[in-house]
Amino acid sequence: MNAKGMAALLMALLLTGCAIGTTSSIRLRGNVDPAQISLSKRTPAAIEASVENIGNSTQTVTVDVVDTEGLSIEKPERTTFTLKPGEARVATFTGILEETAVPGNYVIEIVVDTEKGERIKERVTLKVVAEKGLI
């Protein structure tokens, strides 16, 4: 095979690998509500993971939230579910400030694992202030 043929073959393999290997069939969107809480009120925060199957086949997924220092995470009753193509579900976790919490931005990582071995991550931020309305 000449150099042009090798280059064409290499390019075809690279393009095929990029097109096949980098596309996830699961879309994850995270949200935290309220986005700001006060140490004095200690209002629980809802951490929502919206998981959508944007692929062509049914998939089983497991949703989790990674613990963050100063914030205790309560899991919903159900964190594993099966999604048909085009179907979406929302799993809502509850974040509760611990006694050791301090003011600042708390980065919360939401993780979805698929039965195909994919891992999708999304980060949301919860702002904790000393008093409501203060920065």
Distance CA 34, CA 64 (A): 19
Whether residue 6 is contained in a domain is answered as no
Whether residue 13 is contained in a domain is answered as no
Q: For position 108, which CATH number holds?
A: 2.60.40.10
| pLDDT digits 0-9 by tens, 13-38 | 555 444 445 578 999 999 999 999 99
Is residue 55 within 8 A of residue 85, CB to CB? The reply is: yes
pTM value is: 0.78
Whether residue 20 is contained in a domain is answered as no
Q: Whole domain around residue 43: which residue ranges?
A: 26-129
Written as six digits, the tokens of 121 are: 């991550």
| pLDDT digits 0-9 by tens, 37-58 | 999 888 999 999 999 999 999 9
pLDDT level of residue 11 (50, 70, 90 thresholds): low
Strands annotated E in 1-135: 26-33, 36-38, 45-53, 59-65, 71-74, 80-83, 88-97, 104-114, 119-129
3-state secondary structure of 33: strand
Whether residue 77 is contained in a domain is answered as yes
Q: Scanning the structure block, which residue is given the tokens 């979805």?
A: 112
| pLDDT digits 0-9 by tens, 50-91 | 999 999 999 999 999 998 999 999 999 999 999 999 999 999
Written as six digits, the tokens of 7 are: 């280059």
**Phi and psi angles of residue 70, each rounded to the nearest 5 degrees, phi first:** 90, -10
Whether residue 135 is contained in a domain is answered as no
Tell me what the pLDDT averaged over the chain comes to. Answer: 88
Whether residue 50 is contained in a domain is answered as yes
Q: Scanning the structure block, which residue is given the tokens 């979406």?
A: 88
**Phi and psi angles of residue 134, each rounded to the nearest 5 degrees, phi first:** -90, 150
Domain count, the chain: 1
